Structure 1
């Protein structure tokens, strides 16, 4: 069944379904199972989310962590060389603080959403390394211990485990990854924020394969150099009906945990390849895929620290803008009604069979 936001607010619950305990949020259910939080990305400020009161009410009630979808990326924090603008990030941090939420800070070094002065510059390794160092030091030191963690390097590998092309790799080589973690560690030390976790974040590392092997090799090399890495973020951008099996997801998470890493599902959404998105059959399959994915974190033990969905409202999902004709990826449909996927997540967090699959 679906429960509209209007009904939920009238009954004074946090979208409680008949098979839920009244008033319990996804975050509360996750914490009861030993997780730090159940979180969401939010593209705030400068989007409609910033002033959408119904959206913000669910954000406040349902989630215990917030990830800035864009506010902390290079393009927005250092639009011109050594001219930093942290106003968007500060706004986001203030909202998180006022609503009692942790923040996974995302991200420092990535191939995409980098400022023009970086991508169009005539760099050598000797000239680009100081640019990367300056960006990491200024950004990390500004936000300090307001971050639970940083995604230090984002999406550095191809599916075959080779390093992917970027201004950083093409100019500096694979050394850029080791330097990025080294600089982040040093910057945290300077502001006495050593408890902030340092993560590598990527998609396509949720089931065994060459890309997972490459990340594990990276971890070994960092530690060989006495450079800290605390965790791996599994983005978990999946397709309905094509989501990795429970066994594969658990096996991969446990492989990272065996390497003495925390793991988190950091960008979970499960999209449809084509319309219709909201038929009963389609919704049951999506609910099953969400149930399996969230269950994998629970079965992997305490070092799978939590799950973050990549926003929760289909209207604001990144998917239709990135994959033409695809969508319906989140827990709430395009009129902000809880989908079967929402209830499947709640069932998984309560350790119950999926009632909507």
Structure 2
């Protein structure tokens, strides 16, 4: 559906000494990224299901890349294959991020879900603001589909060909495509996609169609009609951008009725947002909601799997669009698995239980100059809480702390120990605190490994 949260590539923004001066939030306390004894992808495969995530190509390194590669067997490009990205100006193509994601998936034995070929949103200005005859618009659409699908022919397992064609009442959404070509733009798009790659499964994807309602019934009737006409349609995507405590009671029933049409059903963009702060009761409810969605998919043979729309809160679109809401994904911003992660594992047949003491410390350098630097440490908890804390590390290149705030820090030789101030020792489940310090350095300033305890 929507964009993942935009990320900045340090390589594209910083050069030379400025890079060192603005590096921030360098994650060095390894979270319990592989929290289950068995990775989610292996649990899902044992049940014949996919477990996927939307990803941002520029972030597929470090801990983010490690989790994306180890835990999921499907990837969906969050933005990299949308029209405004791949053809920002007419006839000029940019495949860099899409190629990067496909290459990453191939290297990690993962399938890729292409997203998305025909949509009313995130189209380039030249297309959206142009004046087109129906014949011109049809040619543009066919060329776009043929070009993109052919580029990845044989390398993508599925495509979200048409995205969000319906209004909430089940009528067709007024879009560039519907207004210019009529409702049959959907059949045409599917037909062109099939011609470009006969092996890829072709989907129609929409939101608020998870339960039985007017919108999902319109989608059901469309799919039924397409199949009767012989139009290539292999599946439906139920996006599942859900709100805490609002998993539809008819979710499994709805999945089953689509499966009974003879098409695959995929949960394509699952996240479950909550009003912040993410207190323990909300995280518990969120875990129950995630499990309910996974349970519904597992129960229906025709449900091929579930994709989460970003696996970490740091990559989620929710806070940018829904003011006051967030914490919608299975991992928190520090890559610590939340109760929702363990609920997914349980629904897929895992037998592990959430770890106790799921709190981590993250060391970062927020600014740096010739003789000094400013650092920050963030202590965050998920599935646990602290009433007091102490963080320690060893400096490896002669660095020395000269001043600290929001903590009491001592240094003996290379060893540094920082304890909470009287007012910030409590870290709630789902909460965090930070402290900062200034330090002196000369020559190099390597990031130390920190210990919370």
Q: Normalising TM by the smaller chain, what interval? A: 0.7 to 0.9
Work out the CA distance in 2 between the residues paired with 1:224 and 1:29. Answer: 36
- Seen in structure 2, the aligned counterparts of structure 1 residues 55 and 129 have a Cα distance that, compared at 3 Å, is same
Work out the CA distance in 2 between the residues paired with 1:202 and 1:293. Answer: 16
Cα contact 1:155–1:202 (8 A) shared by 2: yes
Cα contact 2:204–2:237 (8 A) shared by 1: yes
Equivalent position of 1:133 in the other structure: 142
Work out the CA distance in 2 between the residues paired with 1:353 and 1:64. Answer: 20
Is 1:344 the counterpart of 2:343? The answer is yes
- Seen in structure 2, the aligned counterparts of structure 1 residues 7 and 322 have a Cα distance that, compared at 3 Å, is closer
Work out the CA distance in 1 between the residues paired with 2:107 and 2:141. Answer: 32
Equivalent position of 2:39 in the other structure: 25
Give the 5 Å matches for 1:200-279. Answer: 200-245=204-249, 248-272=250-274, 274-277=275-278, 279=279
- 1:214-271 CA-to-partner distances (Å, cap 9, x unmatched) read 11221133223321100001101100111213xx111000000011010111111000
Is 1:332 the counterpart of 2:331? The answer is yes
- Seen in structure 2, the aligned counterparts of structure 1 residues 354 and 205 have a Cα distance that, compared at 3 Å, is farther
Equivalent position of 1:153 in the other structure: 162
Secondary structure of residue in 1 paired with 2:84? helix
Equivalent position of 1:15 in the other structure: 35
Equivalent position of 1:54 in the other structure: 63
- 1:36-84 CA-to-partner distances (Å, cap 9, x unmatched) read x211110213xxx244x11111111111111000100011111122322
Q: Which has the higher helix share?
A: 1
Q: Which has the higher strand share?
A: 2
Give the 5 Å matches for 1:86-165. Answer: 86-165=95-174
Work out the CA distance in 1 between the residues paired with 2:100 and 2:308. Answer: 21
CA RMSD of aligned residues (A): 2.0
- 1:293-341 CA-to-partner distances (Å, cap 9, x unmatched) read 110000112x211111011111110111111111000001122211111
Cα contact 2:267–2:307 (8 A) shared by 1: yes
Secondary structure of residue in 1 paired with 2:325? coil
Secondary structure of residue in 2 paired with 1:123? coil
Work out the CA distance in 2 between the residues paired with 1:313 and 1:218. Answer: 34
Secondary structure of residue in 1 paired with 2:137? helix
Is 1:169 the counterpart of 2:183? The answer is no
Work out the CA distance in 2 between the residues paired with 1:352 and 1:208. Answer: 32
State the Cα distance separating 1:170 from its structure 2 match: 1.7
Instruction: Name structure 1 gaps, 5 residues minimum.
Output: 17-21, 189-193
Work out the CA distance in 1 between the residues paired with 2:175 and 2:138. Answer: 14
Work out the CA distance in 2 between the residues paired with 1:351 and 1:251. Answer: 25
Work out the CA distance in 1 between the residues paired with 2:235 and 2:246. Answer: 26
- Seen in structure 2, the aligned counterparts of structure 1 residues 32 and 122 have a Cα distance that, compared at 3 Å, is same
Instruction: Name structure 2 gaps, 5 residues minimum.
Output: 1-27, 356-382, 384-453
Equivalent position of 1:284 in the other structure: 284
State the Cα distance separating 1:195 from its structure 2 match: 2.0
Work out the CA distance in 1 between the residues paired with 2:235 and 2:60. Answer: 30
Work out the CA distance in 2 between the residues paired with 1:34 and 1:50. Answer: 26
Equivalent position of 1:191 in the other structure: none
Which protein is bigger by CA-based radius of gyration?
A: 2
Cα contact 2:236–2:266 (8 A) shared by 1: yes
- Seen in structure 2, the aligned counterparts of structure 1 residues 95 and 352 have a Cα distance that, compared at 3 Å, is closer
- Relative to the length of structure 2, the TM-score reads 0.70
- Seen in structure 2, the aligned counterparts of structure 1 residues 244 and 203 have a Cα distance that, compared at 3 Å, is same
Cα contact 2:31–2:334 (8 A) shared by 1: no
Secondary structure of residue in 2 paired with 1:146? coil
State the Cα distance separating 1:6 from its structure 2 match: 2.3
| Runs of 4+ with >4 A deviation | 351-357
Is 1:42 the counterpart of 2:51? The answer is no
- 1:265-291 CA-to-partner distances (Å, cap 9, x unmatched) read 11110001x2111x1111111011001
- Relative to the length of structure 1, the TM-score reads 0.88
